[in-house]
Chains A and B, each alone.
Chain A
Amino acid sequence: MHERMTGLSNPVASHRPLSKLAAALIAVAMVAAIFYFSFHQITYRWNWHSVLSYRLILVSGWMVTLAISITSLFLSIIIGVTFALARRSEILPLRYFAHIYVELVRGTPLLVQILVFFYVVADAFHVGNRYLVGALILSFFSGAYISEIVRAGIESIGQSQLESAKAIGLTRAQTYRYVIFPQAIRLALPPLVGQFVSLIKDSSLLSIIAVNEFTQAARDINSITYSTLECYIPLAAGYLILTLPISLWTRALEKRLRFET
């Protein structure tokens, strides 16, 4: 899932900038050649015009996906950290509750969760806004995975360090704040990026409760224009615009947090 283990030196780092640039250009050219060849082989009548006239639908769908993704991203971090801490709690019912939540969410399809949550839970609690419900469902879905990532990060901190923290008189909260979290975040970052990217793409499933997000927009335009590729290629590009910055930003953050152990 991750190209590089933290702590190991990056083999590319020692190369000169010019040769790195050349290598990147070659790689891009290779990808372009594969796509060009593939598209060249099919006889496809491109019809960008008809799709272009519906571009506003695509843009508004993209905005919905953006809004839902940002909301769920923040909520899922909060939910994830909360449940990770709950799973380490000394209060047993709380710990078991967190355990059951994680297993239920991870073990069932998102599709089913969306339907049950929207038609049963949200209805019972009188939450009518399907966009809000959609964001909540995604947050709880992603939060389960994030809680496991965070828990793994926390548990990677050795017993000896916790002992040291206790011996110098740090409280439990201070131990988390100054000893555990700074180190756990470094370990959790690469899997977290993967989870965030998944979250953005998973938001497309919300279309089944009539949330007009990005994928739904592309589907709608396709059903009007029958120009499948002209709808779905911009769709792919639109998702990349959301996911690439996250990957790049966390890569930079990872570099800043790196330390030898």
Chain B
Amino acid sequence: MRSKNDSALKLNISNLSKRFDAHQALDSVSLNLEETHSLVLIGPSGGGKTTLLRILAGLEIPDTGTVELNGEAIQFEEPALLCYRRTVRVVFQAFNLFPHLTALDNIALPLEKVHNHAPTQARDVALQLLRRFQLDAHANKKPAALSGGQRQRVAIARAVAIKPRVVLFDEPTSALDPEMTAEVLDTIEQLREEGTDLILVTHEMGFARLAADRVAFLSGGRVLEFGETKSVFDAPKTEECRRFLGTVLKY
């Protein structure tokens, strides 16, 4: 099914903690991941999924703990963290794109300014990606002229443009209606099939089941369950996970 199998994700998280004032967002999280191409984080809101993803994106600095991505420890201090951020990509829930730039320029900007492509080369790469995601008709539109689904797909195109080590999705479809959700999930599935490693926070359990190699269930800032997708969904070990899946899969 998979075209490339050589660059599986290796993630080594140990004792990761993060507190926001009174809220313990992550409470000594440890996670070991090998030979995985797609990890999906599920769990109730406020359970720590997004915080974990933001730490992996280099956008949040943990209070304690270490993270190793593909054998390399993330140094949580500037300017090393800036360099790290340039090797991974995040797709947020919404507002990923800059409103004053066209779809094409949104993709070309980081290529040109951060990754030192020549301007024409950056535009070529951007245009190629837009074609790959059937967005070339919208290349010269500003985000306001695009639908929510198109915006997210342009954001995904921008994310993969730099060939990141991993693409991190933070509830990429939560702000979209069902039709657009399907459109965006199709694109993520296309990436996955083409061999892009990804970590995804989502509430779309059907998609999680389909696309995930591994699933982690986070609740109360801790990883309560972690394992193969099938085993987590079909035979959850903890009461919390059972209750969570029972609720979200009820309708």
- State the A residues within 8 Å of B (CB): 158, 160-161, 163-171, 174, 178-179, 182-183, 186, 259-261
Flag if B98 contacts A164 (CB, 8 Å): yes
Residues of B within 8 A of A166 (CB): 59, 85
A selection of 18 A-B contacts at a CB cut-off of 8 Å is: A160-B92, A160-B95, A161-B98, A165-B98, A167-B58, A167-B59, A167-B90, A167-B92, A168-B85, A168-B86, A168-B89, A168-B110, A168-B158, A169-B86, A169-B114, A170-B110, A174-B114, A259-B100
Q: Provide the bound-state CA to CA distance between A160 and B98, in Å.
A: 10
Q: Provide the bound-state CA to CA distance between A118 and B246, in Å.
A: 78
Residues of B within 8 A of A186 (CB): 100
Give B137-162 as 1s and 0s: 1 = Cβ < 8 Å from A's Cβ atoms.
00000101100000000000010000
| Other contacts beyond A166-B59, A167-B59, A170-B110: 14, CB < 8 A | A163-B59, A166-B85, A167-B58, A167-B85, A167-B89, A169-B82, A169-B110, A169-B114, A170-B114, A174-B113, A178-B109, A179-B98, A183-B100, A260-B142
Q: Does B74 contact A (CB under 8 A)?
A: no
Given A167-B57, A168-B158, decide whether A261 and B144 contact each other with a Cβ distance below 8 A.
yes
Q: Does B185 contact A (CB under 8 A)?
A: no
Q: Provide the bound-state CA to CA distance between A259 and B146, in Å.
A: 13
Q: Provide the bound-state CA to CA distance between A171 and B100, in Å.
A: 19
Flag if A164 contacts B96 (CB, 8 Å): yes
Q: Provide the bound-state CA to CA distance between A167 and B98, in Å.
A: 13
Q: Provide the bound-state CA to CA distance between A168 and B90, in Å.
A: 8
Residues of A within 8 A of B113 (CB): 170, 174, 178
Within the complex, what minimum Cβ distance (angstroms) separates B64 from chain A? 23
Residue of B nearest to A164 (CB): B96
Flag if A168 contacts B57 (CB, 8 Å): no
Within the complex, what minimum Cβ distance (angstroms) separates A114 from chain B? 40
Flag if A182 contacts B57 (CB, 8 Å): no
Q: Does B94 contact A (CB under 8 A)?
A: yes
Q: Provide the bound-state CA to CA distance between A182 and B101, in Å.
A: 10
Within the complex, what minimum Cβ distance (angstroms) separates B18 from chain A? 17
Residue of B nearest to A185 (CB): B100
Q: Which 6 A-B residue pairings sit nearest by Cβ, starting from the closest?
A: A169-B86, A260-B144, A160-B95, A168-B110, A169-B114, A167-B90
The B74-110 residues at the A interface (CB cut-off 8 A) are 82, 85-86, 89-90, 92, 94-100, 109-110
Flag if A158 contacts B89 (CB, 8 Å): no
Residues of B within 8 A of A160 (CB): 92, 94-95
Central interface residue in A166, A169, A260, by most chain B CB within 10 Å: A169
Identify which of B94, B95, B99, B114 contacts A168 (C-beta below 8 A).
B114
Residues of B within 8 A of A183 (CB): 98-100
Q: Provide the bound-state CA to CA distance between A259 and B110, in Å.
A: 21
Within the complex, what minimum Cβ distance (angstroms) separates B194 from chain A? 21
Give B180-222 as 1s and 0s: 1 = Cβ < 8 Å from A's Cβ atoms.
0000000000000000000000000000000000000000000
Residues of A within 8 A of B98 (CB): 161, 164-165, 179, 183
Within the complex, what minimum Cβ distance (angstroms) separates A239 from chain B? 35
Q: Provide the bound-state CA to CA distance between A261 and B94, in Å.
A: 14
Q: Provide the bound-state CA to CA distance between A259 and B94, in Å.
A: 19
Q: Provide the bound-state CA to CA distance between A143 and B22, in Å.
A: 42
